[in-house]
Amino acid sequence: MSLFHNVELLPGVVKHNDIATSWSWSKFLTSINKIDEKNKAVEKETWMKENVDAEGRQDFVEDGRMWPYVVPVNAFAEHIFANYTDKLTEGVVVEYTVRDYEDLMQSSVKTIWLAKIMKIAGYRLLLRWVGAKDEGDEKFDFWTNIGSNVLHSVGYGSITQGNKQAYAYIPPRFIADRWKEDGVDSVAKHIQSTMMPLQYVRTLRKHFEEDRKRVITEYVFKVNDRVELLDYNNSTRVRPARVQKSGWTKNLRPCDGD
């Protein structure tokens, strides 16, 4: 019996004709990175008119995005807030810091009020204050990031009370001014009637605060974790290593054995 047999050598890469409907991520990124210079010039001109300081006009600075296009969060299979964005829906109620009264409050007291999610766009949430019911109130809608430290689940302000920080439930000024028209005690009554049914509303999950802090600050790699490092001298080879120190920069030590 022969120890050898015939083999057929095949080319490493089989070439195919380009298909018009085929998807190419690299082509997509290339196309969205092409900046429309005309539109950019208009935006720059507008920005220069609106941003003037005592020393003259400030330089136009790009914000680092792929202007004027962006890649949506849901285009990626994994992202740090997937557990929240996958479950968030329009109508969820949250608590958000109100800045209308900062000049009237002590530094240890923050005003907070309820807002409803009107639209979700990746990590960005469009919020509308609870009580903004009149025609045209959509002009007070605002965008925030799900990672913002002034965005909380319902009930956060009532359970987070201490010597260093306290929260007071007060609606934005434009809502409070309307409620005052009903009488001296009307604002307090409106606040009470708004807060009463909150136990039945849909909000962020109970441990949202802790989970948000964890997913933002927790490092993927921990001390003594085993990893593989790409060999800079040969991109086709990897070598084992062990994590000695974990942080935003990793301290790794190559392993020659166990």
180 pLDDT higher than 90: no
63 pLDDT higher than 50: no
* In the chain, % of residues over pLDDT 90: 9
Residues in CB range of 176: below 8 A, 6 or more apart: 170, 187
How many CB atoms are located within 10 Å of the residue 65 CB?
9
The model carries a pTM of: 0.57
Where do you find CATH 2.30.30.140 in the chain?
Answer: 83-209
> Is the sign of the CA dihedral 161, 147, 200, 118 positive or negative?
positive
List C-alpha distances in Å: 188 to 6, 115, 160, 168.
90, 18, 21, 12
Task: Name the token pair of 246.
Answer: 């974990």
211 pLDDT higher than 60: yes
59 pLDDT higher than 50: yes
pLDDT averaged over every residue in the chain: 73
For residues 80-88, average pLDDT: 71
Tell me which CATH code domain 83-209 carries: 2.30.30.140
How many CB atoms are located within 10 Å of the residue 209 CB?
15
> What are φ and ψ of residue 143, in 5° steps?
-95, 145
38 pLDDT higher than 60: no
More confident residue, 192 or 199: 192
Q: Identify which of 40, 46, 47, 44 has the alpha carbon closest to the alpha carbon of residue 69.
A: 40
For residues 31-50, average pLDDT: 61
Please state whether the peptide bond connecting residue 11 to the residue before it is cis, i.e. omega within 30 degrees of 0: no
- What crossing angle do the helices spanning 173-180 and 186-195 adopt, rounded to 10°? 120
For residues 170-185, average pLDDT: 87
Q: Which of 138-147, 177-186, 193-202 shows the lowest mean pLDDT across its residues?
A: 193-202
* pLDDT tens digits, 104-121: 888 788 899 999 999 887
Check residue 40 and give its pLDDT: 62
